[in-house]
Chain A
């Protein structure tokens, strides 16, 4: 059983206008096997939370803590966080010219495990996962994300999730830009990985659409850099009907 614990997290970024605070005291605990949905309007800091957990250099942690089973995540480099069991499925996966999917996945798996995966089972796992996500076998010899459609990039992220077997995964707007078929395929993939590996999931989304296919145990409403309300799956339904106006139009959350 793994726990990712975020306590009173304050994060800022440097912009041309100076230092801008984004996260203003986030508290969140994600355990193995739990699905947490973080929902909120644009600009509320959802992606900042995702990238701060992964360790993107653009974000400065001003105070607070992130720990994974008691280990200080903020003290770890980006790749150390991955080795510790964290995974970020990106909203805009990056293209890497000249590096094939096959080479990339094997390199990542080798780095995470400290040894190359046994060839036969690796090839089989890769094939199984690609098929489950309806990705043609030819993708393995294409360069990472180069010329992939939006949906193909997202499915490729879930292939990685399945093969790299993290303990806690952050899915940053994985649903954005997906048509309904791709959304179902990606959701099935996330559910399958969770069932097989007891993955803990932090699902960041703007819309409730993906929650029809991935049922959250907890829903957190994110407004102005902190969690404004939390509840169960029923909170998502309420957001579906009422939108975020209730949080943004009323008294400012400070």
Chain B
């Protein structure tokens, strides 16, 4: 068994990855990554590409290459004032309003979906919407979702995923001027589920987005949120929480693009790993564009490795194209239990397994507390407790 701990590893510019169709020119900036809605525009994936090299691509060949079932994925949407839920055509202007696919699996989904699920918020009084999604079976599927928060609207949207899945999808999130939106993508899939999700957000002037990725269940779950802070004064808070058990691969490639001046971003992802071949990947790219003066950004990732045979990759990248910024920083740390914390708890009579659970719980709870929804927080704490209950004495 091996246990690799990667700390503060920064990937150098451009060695082994694809750069759009057959281009020999290295991608110089994260912003210049090739994007298209067409599957055939992307070459076959070798597994050496920058965006695939940490993913077990053999397990997602069908989602990368094969025809996908693009019929509407069954959804259940809770009622809330001022919220509409509808299926829209591929040529609806809302489709593509936040971004385009940047890799082959996302493009395959984009080429395959028949209708997009659109959820639109208009209420200036905060509302809460839950989109419950469950595939009827584990056939390879494509989906497309557009969540739009109209100007000055307020709300929380929970995408609640459970059941079986082999799903490649794109989620677009548009936060129009002055709106405040929280989107939580919650992955509590069945143990053998595979899920690739590219989530694109556009945040307009003085609007703010809180985006939360919670990945607990599934065999291979890769959620890549990409946020463009497009309007002056836009803010993005990107949070993540994951807990990988034996054999699970949980990945997130986070991108924040500061385009407009005085934009603010905070990225905070925390994960725990327990069991043989528990694997997590976090890549955090922050790009501060040349017009994004006065911006303030900070990204961090922390991983707690609870057993032998687990591996966490953590790769923060920061690109700055203007000298006039308020702040920019990143941090990454991956480590084992702090033995002194355990000793302290045990010296007060707390048995070792319970001491470990308490420390992990404390580690993860920081992100949960930032979600800002009591019912969801309680539910996530219970889910974390259930994960922790399975931990053996290490």
Contacts and interface: CB of A to CB of B under 8 A. Distances in A.
Given A57-B343, A99-B358, A111 B365 contact: no
A78 B362 contact: no
B364 interface: yes
Interface string A63-92: 000000000000001110111000110100
Given A54-B347, A82-B347, A96 B339 contact: no
B93 interface: no
B10 interface: no
B349 A79 contact: yes
B346 A98 contact: no
A83 B365 contact: no
Contacts of A82: 346-349
Given A57-B343, A90-B344, A94-B340, A111 B366 contact: no
B341 A96 contact: yes
Given A79-B352, A111-B354, A88 B364 contact: no
Interface in A35-85: 54-57, 77-79, 81-83
| Residue of A95, A103, A108, A164 most packed against chain B (CB within 10 A) | A108
A149 interface: no
A77 B340 contact: no
**Residue in A57, A98, A103 whose Cβ sees the most chain B Cβ within 10 Å:** A98
Contacts of A56: 343
Nearest to B363: A98
A87 B347 CA distance: 7
- The residue in B345, B349, B352, B363 that gathers the most chain A C-beta atoms within 10 A of its C-beta is B349
A93 interface: yes
Contacts of A90: 344, 347
Interface residues of A, number: 29
Contacts of A174: none
Contacts of B364: 98
A98 B365 contact: yes
B318 interface: no
Nearest to B360: A98
A55 B340 CA distance: 12
Nearest to A51: B343
A108 B350 contact: yes
A98 B362 contact: yes
Given A79-B349, A160-B348, A107 B362 contact: no
B298 to A, nearest CB: 18
Contact of A111 (B351, B359, B362): B351
Contacts of A83: 349
B126 to A, nearest CB: 26
B366 A107 contact: no
A56 B341 CA distance: 12
Contact of A98 (B343, B345, B361): B361
A31 B333 CA distance: 46
A95 to B, nearest CB: 8
B359 A99 contact: yes
Nearest to A92: B340
Given A57-B343, A78-B343, A111-B354, A96 B348 contact: no
Interface of B: 338-341, 343-352, 354-355, 358-359, 361-366
Given A57-B343, A96-B345, 11 more contacts: A56-B343, A78-B343, A79-B347, A79-B352, A82-B346, A82-B347, A96-B341, A96-B359, A98-B365, A108-B345, A112-B348
The 4 closest A-B pairs by CB, nearest first: A98-B362, A82-B349, A108-B348, A78-B346
25 contacts: A55-B347, A56-B343, A78-B343, A79-B347, A79-B350, A79-B355, A82-B348, A90-B344, A94-B338, A94-B340, A94-B341, A94-B343, A96-B345, A97-B362, A98-B364, A99-B358, A107-B345, A108-B348, A108-B349, A108-B350, A111-B348, A111-B354, A112-B348, A112-B349, A164-B348
